[in-house]
Chains A and B, each alone.
Chain A
Amino acid sequence: MVGSGVHILRRLILLTSILTILAYPVLSITLHELKLEILSQVAHGLFNKKKITIYLADNSFIEKKKDANKMGIVFVDNCSSADLIVAGSLKHLSKDCLKKTIFATNYPLFKNRHTIGALFWQKGRPVLILKKRALERKHLKVKKYLKKYVH
């Protein structure tokens, strides 16, 4: 057994030294950055403004990144001053905020009449849906690239 261990070790060391030469780091997009980008596209497809204020009522959905500014998004701490509320639940929203444009982050809340649409998972895939009637009630006209998501 000792002999076989030495044999393996010798091969491992040889291959390790060849292969590790290739290693060097690069950057790639994270899940939160990706969700932020999707959210930015949805927000800008709904509102014709350069800077859109968003109140995040679902902290698990996305991290409040400072570089959101580059995507024309400003996160606010008060829902009353937000153009768009991103929520996973309506529990902590005041009555005034419930009248605002609410975008859901899960399926059960998508079914709620207060929301205009959602990004949720269905059949293991992310689905973006905007509710036609809810958008009409809010007098929101979506940009062309969002129309295929309106149902």
Chain B
Amino acid sequence: MFVKGKGIAAILGLLFIGFVNISSASNLSSLLGEYSQLGDLSQKTKKEAAGNLIVFTRADLDRMKIKTLAELINYLPFMRYYEDETNLSSIGYAPYQYGTFNPLIIYINDREITSPFFGNGFQIVSKIDLDFIDHIEVYLGIPSYDIGIHSSHCVIKLYTKKGYRENSTVLGSYYGTYNTNSEYISAGKGSENLSYFIYFNRKFLYRKRLHHRVDDRVYDLSRDLNYYNFYGELDTRNFRVSGEALWTDLDNFIGRSWDITTKKANSKFRYLSGSIDYFSDDKSWKISLSYSNYLTRGEQKSDGPMGIIQVPPIYLTYNNFYLKLGGKLVDVNVEKNLKFGKNELLVGIFGRYKGFNFKSYKTYIEGLGTLDFKLPSYNREYVYDLYFENKYLINPKNIFMLSLKSEKHLLNGGIRNYTLFGAKTGYIFNNDKITFKTFLEYKTNPISSYVLFRQAYLGGRRVSPSQSSGGSIELDYRKANSKYSFLFIENFNKNFIYFDGRSYNNHNYSIIFTGLSLKYRYNFDPFNKIELSGWYLRANHMPYLSKKLTGLLGDNIKTKNFNYFGAYISLFNKIGNFSLFNSLSYRGIFNDNRPSFNLCSTIIYNPTDRLTIYLKGINLLNRGVTTTYIAINPLTGKVSTLNHVQPIDRTVWLGVEYTF
């Protein structure tokens, strides 16, 4: 163990500092504290019967000062946060498996965040600050269709702040490690009949620089990110109109360099989105329409090669490229809720148009000049869903549910159309003390446009949608101020898509995920609580890239069983005008990477009702989860590695917020 003697004492001292002299809140203060919990917006939006649910309330997020989804992953079972070689967020990073596996689907309110080409919303929002988010619901497995139509292994729903819950203007800023700085302003006012909320954030996130030495040259690898984000929302009882604009400037770390000789790797991303939702008075109708526009500009240069381009009749390596990729996404969704007898039936249709367009994708080769890549003609996809879900209420405490979905993907450019199918059945028991849920599910998974496009470019054979089937059992037991949670999952994944170094293939083995999670929470009072959680996940037959690489990558794909472990202890305390959050989390892979320990701490001080000063630390022990990056030159067989890179740096931020 790396933490010994005084280290342990110091950590435990820091964790338990909040339990010294906890002041007892007055009766009315306690009532207001309880009101804050019971009246939290999540009480209106969360659907216990919809799946295996984890909620981060507004109070939790405020006190943890959780800034990004990347941080939040630390508190979710069965997950580790990674960044891939291009500095994009991931939950299951493996070298060269980009775009093959996306276990997370992200929604902001009812709008799915995704991109037409990469199909990964987590990469868009994982690093932006969440100060415009009120609360977060995490559904493990396939949730109910009234939560989200498209699901993978986990759905994260981000619910935005509402003007009628804010009634304030907040100006905030924080500054910290590596000169990271962020400024934000939000304003919201109104009643439930009519309210508005607007938010603007500018953040310059500077990260620890990494260096890679090749012979006598040292390459500086940057993971910095600058962005501007705007969000606006207007709410009435029947309508919600929202708009978002995000401009990011991201350094792409290693990029695509085959030997980590990256000289430049940068991309600029612009995301514009607008949506309108209609809810009937009795909430039986919901109609949503959203439009999103994307533009990515990427540029990379390296000393060594990063790819092969065909210049008939020969193939040449190139060491730079520039691309400009545009995209559009239009979603339409209509849902109707019907009640008859003891049944609650949800019927819905969904339509999506997604289009992407390489406005430019070129490289410069000495002696030949600028060359355009010859790209496949596939650039458009239509998705149609028809789904229904029936809840049969034996009585208000016992519910049976069954849901079915059919999803058609129509693609152009000679890519074969495909149809997906989803089914889920479950039983839910819920009373004031016990929540018991069990689900069985089966589904086929969409293939990202990136994989289809690249497969067409590489000339690989057709890949089929992968299939997942699984089940879960959850038991939550509440007694007085305690809550015990137990979750067991088992998931079988057949025809898992992976990249073998030449093209994409369906995996021969059925990958089995088996997970067990235990969680305990004790509320001392509305302001002080402790949470303990531990989980175990076993993944059988995972495609694995052997470290003893020689020759082409494709000869080195093996399968391996992984045993993942995770645990955390979190303490929330309030002492006078101070609010404290301390958490120590552990992640480990049996017989593999070194275990990680992530100590996070937030101290919030409110000298007045209007002023908030906070100090926040992440990965304070500098022993967070690490990733080993592997780059391979397939022509020479040379393997370059970058070991023990932390996707979350040791960070300390000092922030201030003023409420007008």
Chain A: residues with CB nearer than 8 A to chain B? 1, 4-5, 7-9, 11-12, 15-16, 19-20, 22-31, 34-35, 37-38, 41, 88, 106-109, 120-126, 128, 145-146, 149
Contact = CB atoms under 8 A, between A and B. Distances in A.
B475 A22 contact: yes
A31 B429 contact: no
Nearest to B492: A4
B58 A124 contact: yes
Contact of B32 (A7, A88, A126): A126
B166 A16 contact: no
A36 to B, nearest CB: 10
- 3 tightest A-B contacts by CB? A107-B167, A8-B471, A124-B58
5 contacts: A5-B440, A23-B434, A24-B433, A145-B26, A145-B27
The A interface, classified by DSSP as helix, strand, loop or mixed, is helix
A120 B26 CA distance: 19
A41 B167 contact: no
B191 A121 contact: no
Nearest to A4: B492
Given A15-B473, A22-B477, A29-B34, 10 more contacts: A8-B492, A11-B490, A19-B436, A19-B475, A25-B431, A38-B32, A107-B167, A121-B167, A122-B167, A145-B26
B433 A34 contact: no
B432 A41 contact: no
Contacts of A4: 469, 492, 510
B432 A120 contact: no
Contacts, number: 129
A122 B166 contact: yes
Given A11-B490, A12-B440, A31-B43, A1 B164 contact: no
Contact of B434 (A22, A108, A124): A22
A66 to B, nearest CB: 21
A141 B569 CA distance: 46
Contact of B35 (A1, A16, A26, A34): A34
Nearest to A121: B165
A7 B440 CA distance: 12
Contacts of B38: 29-31, 34
A28 B473 contact: no
Contact of A108 (B161, B191, B469): B191
A88 B28 contact: no
Nearest to B58: A124
B657 to A, nearest CB: 9
B31 A24 contact: no
Contact of A20 (B32, B397, B436, B494): B436
Contacts of A24: 433-434
Given A122-B168, A125-B36, A37 B432 contact: no
A146 B26 CA distance: 11
B164 A106 contact: yes
A23 B191 contact: no
Interface in B394-446: 397, 429, 431-434, 436, 438, 440, 442
Contacts of B28: 38, 41, 128, 145-146, 149
Contact of A120 (B167, B433, B436): B167
B62 interface: yes
Contacts of A31: 35, 38-39, 43
Contacts of B43: 31
A124 B166 contact: yes
A123 B161 CA distance: 9
B473 A5 contact: no
Contact of A26 (B189, B192, B432): B432
A23 B167 contact: no
B467 interface: yes
A131 B132 CA distance: 30
B494 A128 contact: no
A125 B36 CA distance: 6
A27 B432 contact: yes
A105 B134 CA distance: 21
Contacts of A12: 438, 440, 471, 473
B134 A124 contact: yes
B231 interface: no
B578 interface: no
Contacts of A35: 35
B278 interface: no
B486 interface: yes
B492 A123 contact: no
Contacts of A15: 473, 488
Contacts of A109: 191
Contacts of B190: 107-108
Contacts of A22: 434, 475, 477
A20 B165 CA distance: 39
A41 B31 CA distance: 10
Interface in B14-72: 26-28, 31-32, 34-36, 38-39, 41, 43, 58-59, 62
B31 A88 contact: no
A22 B475 CA distance: 10
A138 to B, nearest CB: 20
